[in-house]
Chains A and B, each alone.
Chain A
Amino acid sequence: MKFGSPIRGLGLAVVALVVVAACGSSGGGATGACSSDKAKTANSASACGGLDALIAAAKAEGKLNVIALPRDWANYGALLDGFKAKYGIDITSDNPDGSSQDEVNAVKQLGSTSRAPDVLDVGMAVALANTDLFAPYKVQTWDDILTSQKEATGLWFQDYGGFMSIGYDSKTVPQINNFTDLEGSAFKGKVALNGNPKQANAALNGVMMANLAVGGTVDDISKGVDWFHKLKTIGNFSKTQATTATVKNGTTPVVFDWDYLSAAHGKDVPTWKVFVPNNAILGGYYAQAISKSAPHPAAARLWEEYLYSDEGQNLWLAGLARPVRMAAMQASGKIDQPAAAKLPAVNGTPVFLSDAQSTAAKNYVVAHWDAAIA
């Protein structure tokens, strides 16, 4: 009988949660030229004697531990190889397919042991909930990052991401020029979300994009939920989850998803197009953070400098992720133009949700979503 399995799963999950115990650690300070000890509290390269001193200290450490960085995700493979080749520092890449929560758990469990992660690449919800684990640091290109995309002291700073978009197979459905085109009869049963908005961040942001597109505000997502109710009533909304497989076989020819993930469908479906509505440019970015208990504090800071250099940013871009300094680099002409051209064009001012706004949106969606599209 299969009845026992979910209960068992629950029980095991609970046991696993209980086993996760938090450990703390404290960083010691030191003076003198940049060293591991001094880097631990350095909140910028200049606070540790400049970039060259930081490089020397990092080389002395000789190692860097990263976690949850899949080589095929946002071009991390090239970034890891590039850093290693440039500075001769060995990288230990742990649990490449882990989640943001796995990263935080590893920091808590491994403390400051030599296997503990030095740097983290996490989703915003996890970043905001765990700032007590991070060491503040400002990369040299700090000013290029919008204020809404970083924590003022440098506990976390967004790295790459993109905008919510509507991806569609132009062979199956007509070209989308306006958001309200989706209400047309050509889209019957064809519009899907990437996940359930009660659970998946991409789907929640999809509802928020609809909300903004139909005149809602970032503080109140109700118009977005109402719009999906309307879409369901018309018969255009598909209740199945959009995956690479459903896009490939044509079951979900119209998908709300991040533009950089959606653009990747072009590999399977050459006629796939990505549209970002001008009146609803909703940004979603991951964030970098340095672990407070990093076993290789200098290498950790050097890794961030590398990621936020023009070279690092262009490597992310080559993986279809929008680097956080993209606008500044477009202005200075340092951007990799052919790579940038592969991403959908965006005209307008991007919007980023604050923590309070995402919480309000989540609470409303959890309470009203099922009823709206049942």
Chain B
Amino acid sequence: MTTAGSPAVTTNVGRPFLGGRRFSLDWVGAVPFFVYVVIFLMLPSGIVAIGAFFDANNAFTLENFVHLNRSYVLKATIDTTIVSLITAVLGAIFGALLAYAIVTGNPDGVLRRMAVSASGVLAQFGGVTLAFAFIASIGPAGFVYLFAKSHGFDYYKDSLWLFEIPGLDLVYLYFQIPLMVLVFLPALDGIKPQWREATESLGGNSWHYWRHVAGPLLFPAFLGGVLLLFANSFSAYATVNALINQSQPMLAQQIAGALSSEVGAFEPGFAKAIAIEMIVIVTGVTILYTVLQRRTARWL
């Protein structure tokens, strides 16, 4: 149609409006998602990020970030990270084992359906309700404790650990394990029984199968589960607040403390600086996860 050396013509016909490479409307389907992300994730994050650099009088300051090294914020940072790590790793291990137990059963069986629906409910069972369920059962006035105590087993003899970090770990596991079951089941379902048969027909035993076949296949999904559980516990607020109201061990509580106060301890800029700190930590963990996953998935 065109000849070389006549660029004007080339540009004219090179991109016909109809036929050939058309103006694509495929992205329209993603618009609601992008709008959602912008309004509910980017916009608030932006407001928080900018607000962290201003003081109560709207003057620019870096003071809010300097305050992050206050001893109680440092302690909350360490406590939050440790609690999140412990409950993520333990939750992932127990959740994965439970999911494996479910998968080995009848895929259409009652047990599996019950376990999956129970996990779906329990993974969302958090907040004041969960905290109070523990207080009412194993708490210092709970029926389990009273029963155990009357039989000579006083598990609060040394300290009231339910309202300390160990209690928090226990309560968090209650929603972490079911969440892991939910996210890990699809990965386990993807493992085909034929692979095990293939391993065995090649002379491999159970150890070889897990070490060289199923393990490497499942590890990225397992890591992803750990990351999800970490973020889940890292940002939880209502549960811990109902359980440990004093000393505010979690960063989310420190944000609330700086943001809403009847007694006048109102530092909105500082609250935003803590939020930025949380974003940075979770981003760091996510990057670590990506690197690890790349390494483990490289040779798959």
Is A230 in the interface zone, CB < 8 Å from B? no
Is B232 in the interface zone, CB < 8 Å from A? yes
In the complex, residue of chain B having the shortest beta-carbon distance to the beta carbon of A14: B47
In the complex, residue of chain A having the shortest beta-carbon distance to the beta carbon of B227: A1
Say how far B290's CB is from chain A's closest CB, in angstroms: 15
Is A19 in the interface zone, CB < 8 Å from B? no
Interface of chain A residues 354 through 370 with chain B (CB within 8 A) = 358-359, 362-363, 365-367, 369-370
Q: How far is the CA of A189 from the CA of B43 in the complex (A)?
A: 44
A201 touches B263 (CB 8 A): yes
In the complex, residue of chain B having the shortest beta-carbon distance to the beta carbon of A248: B141
Contacts of A246 in B (CB 8 A): 135
B263 touches A251 (CB 8 A): no
Which of B70, B246, B260, B272: most chain A Cβ within 10 A? B246
Is B228 in the interface zone, CB < 8 Å from A? yes
Binds A, one of B87-95, B112-120, B190-198, B237-245: B237-245
A241 touches B245 (CB 8 A): yes
Q: How far is the CA of A5 from the CA of B135 in the complex (A)?
A: 26
Please tell me which one of the listed residues A4, A6, A253, A358 contacts residue B255 in the complex, with CB atoms under 8 A apart: A6
Interface of chain B residues 155 through 190 with chain A (CB within 8 A) = 156, 159-160, 163-164
Say how far A47's CB is from chain B's closest CB, in angstroms: 34
Residue interface bits A103-137, CB-to-B below 8 A is 1, else 0: 00000000000000000000101000000000000
Please tell me which one of the listed residues B47, B72, B236, B248 contacts residue A2 in the complex, with CB atoms under 8 A apart: B236
Is B82 in the interface zone, CB < 8 Å from A? no
A8 touches B75 (CB 8 A): no
A373 touches B265 (CB 8 A): no
Q: A125-B264, A240-B244 are in contact. Are A7 and B45 (CB under 8 A)?
A: yes
B255 touches A198 (CB 8 A): no
Is A309 in the interface zone, CB < 8 Å from B? no
Interface of chain A residues 13 through 47 with chain B (CB within 8 A) = 13-15, 17
Q: How far is the CA of A374 from the CA of B79 in the complex (A)?
A: 11
Contacts of B164 in A (CB 8 A): 239
Please tell me which one of the listed residues A197, A198, A251, A367 contacts residue B140 in the complex, with CB atoms under 8 A apart: A251
Say how far B284's CB is from chain A's closest CB, in angstroms: 13
| Chain B interface, >50% SS class | helix
Please tell me which one of the listed residues A7, A125, A188, A369 contacts residue B247 in the complex, with CB atoms under 8 A apart: A369
| Chain A interface, >50% SS class | helix
Interface of chain B residues 82 through 132 with chain A (CB within 8 A) = 132
A371 touches B263 (CB 8 A): no
Is B213 in the interface zone, CB < 8 Å from A? no
Is B206 in the interface zone, CB < 8 Å from A? no
Say how far B226's CB is from chain A's closest CB, in angstroms: 13
Contacts of B221 in A (CB 8 A): none
Is A250 in the interface zone, CB < 8 Å from B? yes
Say how far B81's CB is from chain A's closest CB, in angstroms: 14
Residue interface bits B255-275, CB-to-A below 8 A is 1, else 0: 111011111110010011001
Contacts of A177 in B (CB 8 A): none
Say how far B71's CB is from chain A's closest CB, in angstroms: 6
Please tell me which one of the listed residues A3, A13, A198, A374 contacts residue B261 in the complex, with CB atoms under 8 A apart: A198
Please tell me which one of the listed residues B47, B159, B263, B272 contacts residue A200 in the complex, with CB atoms under 8 A apart: B263
Say how far B260's CB is from chain A's closest CB, in angstroms: 7
B275 touches A8 (CB 8 A): no
B275 touches A7 (CB 8 A): yes
Is B44 in the interface zone, CB < 8 Å from A? yes
Q: How far is the CA of A13 from the CA of B275 in the complex (A)?
A: 13
Q: How far is the CA of A14 from the CA of B43 in the complex (A)?
A: 11
A198 touches B275 (CB 8 A): no
Contacts of B243 in A (CB 8 A): 240
Contacts of A54 in B (CB 8 A): none
Is B222 in the interface zone, CB < 8 Å from A? no
Is A204 in the interface zone, CB < 8 Å from B? yes
The 10 closest A-B pairs by CB, nearest first: A11-B44, A250-B141, A241-B245, A370-B72, A189-B160, A239-B163, A239-B246, A201-B262, A3-B231, A3-B235
* Chain A residues at the B interface, C-beta cutoff of 8 Å: 1-8, 10-15, 17, 123, 125, 188-190, 193, 195-201, 204, 235, 237-241, 245-246, 249-251, 253, 358-359, 362-363, 365-367, 369-371, 373-374
